[in-house]
Structure 1
């Protein structure tokens, strides 16, 4: 049985409305171990025939059998196996990968054969050494002469065994001396038992072969043998082994290495591609950190005020009295509210603006007349001195506790305790200084305040008994809504009408949390859009990369790469770019967040958010890189090789 048998092989290509037939029923039989030449002029169909022989292309009609196996019925995986395990190509234009060294070009077919890296490196170096290129192992193709590049191509053809060597015009781009050396190397391969098929238009080159098949206009016109066939007792078995459709760890590792090499070769384009992902991931990390920080800051401030509080205020629909206080709530209402179940305390309050004077300094500030329970209600206690007590309340004592801002304005150079401060010309003795609280969420300075007993304030400062508010502290927040309803019913019964409004701090906390969550989602969505734009940039760059590297894809396919290898290669590049962008983006986001923290903003980073942003970036690379990778995997090997 012949190694290669062609029967009635035809090949035509579409040309407008009609097809152009290049091969017209080729019948050809090639024995194992032959050294033969297929000779013909340009346009005779010899290169097309070589592509069919090497399984780079499929015939339009007829049968092609390799070692008895019908090639025309093989799928993409099986054809790739034939190219990888049975054939070795030596091209006129060498077809070397420009970014790979000499030994890496030689080792390329072994990658797709699953040979371990160290083993294939040693084999590639040995083959190059046998061909006289032992000193050129790390040289790139553009650092080698034409003859040296052709010898690299021969070594690559032998990497996986190369039972059949297909040499397409192997001397066409070489000088006569180099060409003669290449032909001698091919003859030596034939002596070693390889089946060598040389495609040429040169009769002198064809004369080196033992058998010459001449083709003209797509037909065999002559088949003559110069020397007897070398007997080859070995039998070639062309039965591809069953292979898993899933890549193994070694394949993925090699894909990552090749991806990094390709990205390094086009570092500027890689940098620009990374930029979109970096901005997107960094924006996600920073914006969500800002949103979470703002949420926690607001929640903390509400918690400082107390989430177990009910603030009762007069309804603004009621008649107003002096200083803007509505004539609704009175101190007796607070005493009645204290008797309700679940109420720990009830603190009435009257407040207003006054001019404070001390040590020759004047300052406009806010006075709050409250009961002694205020400190337990707000968990806000003096940093110096004491807060007034029940005895001061009963005695209408002219005592005051000032905030830190008032202290800085009026007593910057001394201790205020025991000194007097004039509040609208009425003297009050300072008995305490409150601890610092800072600003409220709406920017009001909580430390710009003076506290006086409620009795003293109503009598001496405000001259009226109507309250601005009553604040209830409940024992069990779980029943705060029931307590709110009971308080409203009690005050309605006391006043004869519903004339108050209640602010539930627990409900306010829930509302604020929901609002902040919504804003966080909004910020995250805006950042996600930038991440999406980065993904589109990845797709665009990968499409450009595929277009630029069509020739490289053809080389990889000719050396045995499966469609899945090409798909995996470009998909890995997209994922590697996105993953690198994700890592850098998270780092940049943390650095920007750190700067914002230094500037005083509330920033709260979340490790799950960082991990999610990185995974999203990687997933975007996977999704947006799939279309370009699939386009690369579906390229026709012949068309890809012809694209320079």
Structure 2
């Protein structure tokens, strides 16, 4: 072996024509052939040409050193040879196949199956141990996980890293990291090893060990191409090509090839199935999310809040709607309410147009179950030092039938009580609690506006009305008694009409007949009829609108969370640009890169969806336990979870596409 490359270069004629020899020693097609290759870079209006018409042939099993000073174009040439970059012009044939005719997936296949890269800065994934880094190229093949693991461990053992294979790059020395990168280059066979300044970041001892490994690989039949500026490193090669300013200055063979062996066969680099690709992308994405757990948690937060808001707000909205409908329905869905005053007339409560005789006439209609007049007003109640103001309702004995309101204790007054002007009263639960807190009110007496009444019954609890009024804060008295002794008038506040059925057709017939008989009696439409069914429908529509509004607000928060996912993923792409470049260098297709980042976004969204569903259901349960009516339904849960999936899919696509479109060379050069 010669002592230095420079000695050899002075001993033989120097080729200055800029063209490498065309003829191969074997007389056959060379492994790599490039003709007239140029490479230019555009920076604004400035064009910089790095390579000028490079011609070169590299045979199977060659150990070639491409040497040159910084800026000579040697790294650019290596990127073109390794299919990481494309020439601006010229031709490149690999095993007789024109590389320019290959699409990005074909180039990825070449990098995955034929080339193995050894970088000066090692380019190992910081969050993965030596085994996982070595396995990386095979993760884009159909090789099973067990086979990948076994081959990676065998390669690391062969390279003297048996005791360090489960350590991460930060736990390895520079020489050990470079051995891991060599193992990675051999993972899929490494027919051609491209080593860019493989000793540049190493001490002299580690550098010698790495070059010895590359020399050993050459003797095993691997084609080794070393890029270096160090002539001592180049002296290990069998052939040295020197570049200067983008031109081939010389191409010298220092010695004949030491071995004619063929490189060991790789494990096979066939493309994995779509299902396998999806599963591996999922595990890769999950591992990446786990490495950045804090950032993942912040990304999840927006989705969690959005999903929980959708579920809880829709449950509360549906509960409020159901509560209003139930309260109105509890008053009777078969009711018609007749009020004095023409339709749309203001201040109709003071209009004296309805009388109890109108109620008697309505009772004669076959479709009417009961019609009762109601004469109401606030009056003061007194009993042995207790007094309170409450609503008094003078009505008929059929009131419990018309309003479907049962008596809890005692009895309601009768028609006979009404005819005899009896001073009897039936009280609501609120009145019973407040006026008779220390005794049973049945049989007790009380004063209503200084008129003595005896309590004969207590109504069942009704609760608040849809308008918030306490329906149990009331006293019922016979109509004639109240009209004469409490109100001093015969005209009524309203007439409540209960139809025999809540069927819409029956209600419509009853409505028309009530309208006709009152119009006949009054001669003018000085009354207004309200259908309780229409009130329920109106209330339902109003509550549906409110629920929709709440849902829209919640969905907006979910969209905001989705935008947060997109922003975080875009930041992740920027931070992991070098990782993307490494994956592309070892053979990942654009679709596989895109799938990985898309799955990361979808995984974040789905995980956030699961947590958000649990949180939303928990919040809803707490609100329900506090007494607020809520409605648990499957649809809002499925809607929220589906929205979280779509959020990840839609807002994750842009970052995933950006990652897949990165240029491998620029990505690898990223800091």
Query: Equivalent residues in 2 for 1:62-81 (5 A)?
Result: 62-81=90-109
Q: Is the 8 Å Cα contact of residues 5 and 28 (structure 1) preserved in structure 2?
A: yes
After TM superposition, list the pairs within 5 Å mapping 1:587-626 onto structure 2.
Answer: 587-626=614-653
User: How far apart, in 2, do the equivalents of 1:131 and 1:240 lie?
Assistant: 22
Given that residues 320 and 327 in structure 1 are in contact (C-alpha distance below 8 angstroms), is that contact kept between their aligned partners in structure 2?
no
Q: Distance between the aligned counterparts of 1:198 and 1:301, measured in 2?
A: 84
Match of 1:471 among 491, 496, 520: 496
**2:359 pairs with one of 320, 323, 334:** 334
Deviation at 1:17, TM superposition (A): 2.7
Match of 1:379 among 380, 387, 404: 404
What are the Cα deviations for residues 234-262 of structure 1, in whole angstroms up to 9, with x where unaligned? Answer: 8999x997x69xx7222222222222222
Distance 1:625 1:308 in 2: 54
> 1-side partners of 2:550 and 2:34: how far apart?
66
Give the match for residue 471 of structure 2: 446
RMSD: 2.3
- 5 Å matches for 1:208-223? 208-223=236-251
1:260 matched to 2:286? The reply is yes
Q: 2:577 corresponds to which residue?
A: 550
Tell me what 2:220 maps to: 192
Residue equivalent to 1:137 = 165
1:310 to 316, 328, 336: 336
Distance 1:557 1:120 in 2: 19
Write out aligned runs for 1:378-457 (5 A).
378-457=403-482
The answer to whether the Cα contact below 8 Å between 1:3 and 1:236 also exists between their aligned partners in 2 is: no
Distance in structure 2 (CA, Å) of the matches to 1:138 and 1:374: 85
Pick from 563, 576, 595 the counterpart of residue 568 of structure 1. 595
Residue 170 and residue 349 in structure 1: after superposition, are their counterparts in 2 closer, same or farther (change >3 A)? same
- Residue 459 (str. 1) matches residue 484 (str. 2): yes
Please say if residues 325 and 467 of structure 1, whose CA atoms lie closer than 8 Å, have aligned partners that are also in contact: no
Q: What is the CA–CA distance in structure 1 between the aligned matches of 2:612 and 2:48, rounded to whole Å?
A: 54
C-alpha change, 1:506 and 1:593, in structure 2 (3 Å) is same
What CA deviation, in whole Å up to 9, does each residue of 1:66-98 have, x standing for no partner?
A: 111111110000000000111100011101111
Deviates more, 1:15-24 or 1:488-497: 15-24
Aligned positions of 1:482-501 closer than 5 A: 482-501=509-528
Deviation per CA, 1:271-303, whole angstroms, max 9, x where unpaired? 222222222222212211121111000000011
- Distance in 1 between the 2:624 and 2:445 partners? 41
Whether 1:509 aligns to 2:532 is no
CA shift, 1:521, in A, is 1.0
Hey, what's the Cα distance between the residues in 2 that align with 1:160 and 1:522?
57
- Map of 2:552 onto structure 1: 525
Is 1:272 the counterpart of 2:301? The answer is: no
Deviations 1:460-489 (A, max 9, x none): 322322121111111243122332222122
1:582 aligned residue (609, 619, 639): 609
Distance 1:212 1:437, change over 3 A: same
Task: Give SS of 2:555's match.
Answer: helix
Contact residue 78 and residue 240 of structure 1 kept, 8 A: no
Please state whether the residue corresponding to 1:162 is helix, strand or coil: coil
Q: Per the alignment, in what secondary structure is the counterpart of residue 143 of structure 2? A: coil
Displacement of 1:158 after TM fit? Answer: 0.7
Separation in structure 1 between the aligned mates of residue 345 and residue 617 of structure 2, nearest angstrom: 55
Q: 1:324 to 1:182 in 2, by over 3 A?
A: closer
Classify 1:148/1:173 alpha carbon distance in 2 versus 1 (closer, same or farther; 3 Å).
Answer: same
Q: Does 2:260 align with 1:231?
A: yes
For 1:125, what is the secondary structure of its paired residue?
A: helix
Quick check: 2:219–2:261 contact (8 Å CA) kept in 1? no
Please give the alpha-carbon distance, in whole angstroms, between the structure 2 residues aligned to 1:542 and 1:604.
36
Contact residue 240 and residue 251 of structure 2 kept, 8 A: yes
TM-score, length-normalised on structure 1?
Answer: 0.95
Alignment gaps of 5+ in structure 2: 1-28
SS at match of 1:179: helix
- How far residue 555 of structure 1 moved from its aligned partner, in angstroms, is 0.5
Deviations along 1:559-608, one digit per CA (max 9) or x if unpaired, are 11111111111111111122222222222222222232233222223221
Question: Does the aligned pair in 2 maintain the 1:575–1:618 contact within 8 Å?
Answer: yes
| Map of 1:638 onto structure 2 | 665
For the Cα contact (< 8 Å) 1:372–1:453, is it kept in 2? yes
Q: What's the CA shift for 1:327?
A: 2.1
CA contact (8 A) 1:289 1:604 kept: yes
The counterpart of 1:366, out of the listed 374, 385, 391, is: 391
Change (3 A) 1:301 1:73: same
Inter-partner Cα distance in structure 1 for 2:344 and 2:127: 84
For the structure 1 residues 432 and 49, does the alpha-carbon distance in structure 2 shift closer, same or farther, using more than 3 Å as the test? same
Tell me the distance in 1 between the aligned counterparts of 2:45 and 2:490: 102
CA distance in 1 between partners of 2:443 and 2:196 (Å): 107
Specify the alignment match of 2:211 in structure 1. 183
> CA separation in 2, counterparts of 1:290 and 1:571?
34
For 2:241 and 2:353, locate their aligned partners in 1 and report how far apart those are by CA, in whole Å.
115
Match of 2:198 among 158, 170, 181: 170
Q: Which runs of 5+ in 1 are unaligned?
A: none
Instruction: Give me the whole-angstrom Cα distance separating, in 1, the residues matched to 2:346 and 2:69.
Output: 110
With 372-381 and 228-237 compared, the bigger mean Cα shift is at: 228-237
C-alpha distance 5-320 of structure 1, shift in aligned 2 (>3 A): closer
SS for the counterpart of 1:346 is strand
Give the aligned partner of residue 124 of structure 2.
Answer: 96
| Partners of 2:121 and 2:376 in 1: CA distance | 93
Residue 403 of structure 1 and its aligned partner are, at CA, apart by: 0.8
Match of 2:115 in 1: 87
Q: What stretches of structure 1 move > 3 A for 4+ residues in a row?
A: 232-237, 316-321, 323-326
Counterpart of 2:144 in structure 1 is: 116
Is the counterpart of residue 351 in structure 1 residue 376 in structure 2? yes
Distance in 1, Cα, partners of 2:669 & 2:128: 20
Encode CA deviations 1:205-238: one digit per residue, 9 max, x unaligned.
111112222222222222222332332468999x
